[in-house]
Amino acid sequence: MGKLEVTKGDDTPFRGAAVEVNLVTGVEQPMDLTGTTLWFTAKRDPVADADAVAVVAISTVAAGDYSLGMSIEDAVGGIFSFRIPAAATTGLTDVLPLYLAYDCQVKRTTGKIETIDSGDLIVVTQVTRAS
């Protein structure tokens, strides 16, 4: 993914694929997501901000600072999806566009946590305000 864009106040869906390199063949292959937990976090300051103050904090499991907002569509194929809810951006008072740092992490059944994607989440101004 690398660079994602959302319009302030919109519910925005995304789809991703988790991949890994086979250590024997050196070939990239889908990561098996069976039994895993995924998190997507977007923050103004990725170093200083705790997860509790993240602009977006969603997961495949609602727990702690994370709300449910991700799902695994094809575990063996490594395919997942998530939706950034309108509520995450509606109340933002920052000057737009707003650049947030994001990452997507997976916790494997072994307990190992890996970052499978990271980049910029850009929040842009909405033009239409009809409701």
Are the CB atoms for 41 and 115 separated by under 8 Å? no
Q: Which amino acid is at 49?
A: D
The pLDDT value recorded for residue 1 is 64
Q: By the 8 A CB rule, do 3 and 124 touch?
A: no
pLDDT tens by residue, 29-45? 999 999 999 999 999 99
Q: Is the pTM of this model over 0.75?
A: yes
CATH class given for the domain over 3-124 = mainly beta
pLDDT tens digits for range 45-70: 999 999 999 999 999 999 999 999 99
30 prior amide bond cis, ω within 30: no
- Which H or E run contains 12? strand 12-17
Residue 130 has pLDDT above 80, yes or no: no
| 3-state DSSP assignment of residue 56 | strand
Domain parsing of the chain, residue ranges = 3-124
CA distance 13 to 21: 27
